Amino acid sequence: MKKKENRNALPPIIISGMAGVGKSTLAKALAEIYGIEYVCGGDVLKEMARREGYKVEEENWWETPEGMEFLRKRKEDPNFDKKLDQLLIEIARKGNCVITSWALPWIWGKGVKIWLQASQRVRAERISKRDNISFEEAFEYVKKRDKENVELYKNMYGYTLGRDLHVFDVVLNVEHASQQDVVDMVKCFLEKSKLLEKAEF
């Protein structure tokens, strides 16, 4: 077994789930609780888009026409995501971080892996409130993103996003849970399971 780069480091916590499920909210809270770095896979991908000449200053850039254009380009060229995933693996190997990712639990498999589950309708309601858009618009966005992301990762790596959940240490249904409830449940699980002491990275 490969030695850890830092024996005092916590293993990376990797959070996954479909669009609008609350990955970033949970990741930021855990980063603050444990005093570790928060790394958003989407933000790293945005930085890659910036280097391609896209203007990504808007907070909800993915929902803009330019953001959707980049997603179409990304779908045609999997190298964007493969480069992103390799960058995230390099960060994860150092530990002391919480990462949101749609790929690491399957292609790397180490660290503490958490999947958040909620229906498209609930996720659309959350996005509608978050982005101040109509429920109908948010619902169409969620359905489109789900379909495109499932196809993307199936073509790139062969797994089915949202279905092949055997790789996760915990699968948590957050359909009726508040953001604070989710944070409390995950914190309780991590402490009782002692995964932060046992997980490899």
Report the predicted TM-score, pTM, of the whole model to 2 decimal places. 0.86
**Amino acid 71: pLDDT:** 77
Query: Domains along the chain?
Result: 13-198 (3.40.50.300)
Position of tokens 């990376």? 12
Rounded to a whole number of angstroms, the distance between the first and last alpha carbons of the chain is: 10
Closest CA to 148 of 64, 75, 197, 61: 75
Asked whether 167 and 111 are in contact (CB, 8 A), the reply is: no
**Amino acid 59: pLDDT:** 67
DSSP letter (8 states) at residue 124: H
**Amino acid 163: pLDDT:** 93
Residues of the chain with pLDDT under 50: 1-5
